[in-house]
Amino acid sequence: MWKVVLLFFAALIAAVLPIPGGLFDIKANDTDVQEVLSFFTIQHNNGTNDTYLHQVREVVRVQA
């Protein structure tokens, strides 16, 4: 009987607690996200030999 209870509690804890070191969502309008996005957009535009400048149209998801 105690094995069933222990298994139940182990499954409950595993389902509720996040994975240590796992990914989590960040808001796209966060200042750090905007700075990184701007930096990489500038780097991409500087690294390409293109007559057009590329811009980010939409951020779908940000995770860290």
Q: Is residue 42 part of a domain?
A: yes
Range 1-26 average pLDDT: 75
Q: Is residue 10 part of a domain?
A: no
Q: Total domain count for the chain?
A: 1
pLDDT at 4: 75
Q: Is residue 8 part of a domain?
A: no
Q: Is residue 9 part of a domain?
A: no
Concatenated DSSP letters of 10-56: HHHHHHHSPPTT---B--TT-HHHHHHHHHHHHHHHHHS--SS----
pLDDT at 2: 67
Per the structure, the complete domain to which residue 47 belongs is given by: 21-64
pLDDT at 54: 93
Structure confidence by residue, pLDDT tens digits, 20-63: 777 888 999 999 999 999 999 999 999 998 899 999 999 999 98
